[in-house]
Amino acid sequence: MIAVTARAHTNIALIKYWGKADAALMLPANSSVSLTLDQFYTDTRVAFSPQLTADTFSLDGVLQTGAAVAKVSRFLDHVRDMADMDLRAQVQSVNHVPTAAGLASSASAYAAMALAASRAAGLQLDHPALTRLARRGSGSASRSIDGGCVIWHRGIDDESSFAEPIAVNPALDLRMIAIVINHHAKKVSSRAGMAETVATSPFFPAWAQTAEANSQEMVAALAGDDFKLVGELAERSALMMHATTLAANPPFTYFQPGTLAALQLVQTMRAQGLPAYTTIDAGPNVKVLTTAEYVDAVADQLARHLDNPITICAPGPAARVLQEETVDD
């Protein structure tokens, strides 16, 4: 048997995925567009073995139990089905992402696992098939198979719901600054939050329709050289997504006071001439989209006015295999 270690970088959506059309197949209600980041990634090693009687999963060196292992096991079932085999696996992940802090750790986690597990099972999946497999682990993981900017096509079935890279005008030279407002695990997971929104928020149908159109607009904007257009679309998509949760029943929000403080600071910076726009995921942390030309000036202002740690990111690479080892059966 071979053990395969793969690395995948996290991605931040510029047009958000928020809500499923089909939870079993992990089909989203709308297409989404993202930027893969260079600074945050997950390394995952997968080894199938006839000696194992159950799947095992360790995260950052800590052996996991219960629901965490069951989720990985269900994902591996897809790989076993595709490879037509029934071996159990040892899965070891190391996260270079603040886990569950709204920095999309499940995206890099399941993208790395999809690549490592499929190769370890002897599969040579083509690119769309690999993004579809990652999608089964976590929707946003489909977008972490590729580097740079990526679109995840909503699709209407398993075959048509896949991700692919999109052309970005080099003149845009995008950068993203991650601001950690709170590193503690969030109370409402993305999965639970989006399910509640779909079920109870009257804003949801309007969201899904607008987000689908915005994804196509973002693809066009990324091909152009108007950063303002890209930034405005991204900030608006995030705020529209968060508006759906405020209208859910019961209502909820991922915002914390520090989230709004960062948002308002960026709006003030923009009024003073700095091209910077915010995006916020299913957590309190804020990411600031800007360009290479202005990233130092934006980071300087953030450091001056906020006490929160920041990380400056550039577009990151596609998922890749780091190592293949032959191991004893």
Q: Interface with ligand 2P0 by CB under 6 A: which residues?
A: 13, 16-18, 26, 32, 104, 106, 138-140, 190-191, 281-282
Closer to ligand 2P0 by Cβ: residue 49 or 311: 311
Phi-psi region of 323 (alpha: psi -120 to 50; beta: other; left: phi over 0): beta
Q: How far is the CB of 107 from ligand 2P0 (least distance, A)?
A: 6
Nearest distance in Å: CB 85, ligand 2P0: 25
Closest CA to 152 of 280, 286, 278, 29: 29
Distance (Å, whole) CA 70 – CA 29? 26
User: Residue of minimal CB distance from ligand 2P0?
Assistant: 139
User: What is residue 327's three-state secondary structure?
Assistant: coil
Q: How far apart are CA 145 and CA 160, in angstroms?
A: 16
- Which residue in this structure is represented by tokens 């003030």? 268
For the bound state, the minimum distance from the C-beta of residue 139 to ligand 2P0, rounded and expressed in Å, comes to 3
Q: Which is nearer to ligand 2P0, 162 or 294 (CB)?
A: 162
Comparison of 92 and 138: residue with beta carbon closer to ligand 2P0 = 138
Nearer to ligand 2P0, 34 or 308 (CB): 34
Give the nearer residue to ligand 2P0 in terms of CB position, either 24 or 62.
24
Token pair listed for 168: 């970005």
The Cα 13–Cα 140 span in angstroms is 8
Residue 263: CB minimum distance to ligand 2P0, A: 16
Rounded Cα distance, 112 and 78, in Å: 15
Comparing CB distances to ligand 2P0, the nearer of 101 and 266 is 101
How many Cβ atoms from other residues are within 10 Å of residue 281's Cβ? 25
**Least Cβ distance, residue 228 to ligand 2P0 (angstroms):** 22
- Dihedral, CA of residue 244, residue 137, residue 112 and residue 319, to nearest 10: -60
- Report, in Å, the least distance between residue 42 CB and ligand 2P0: 13
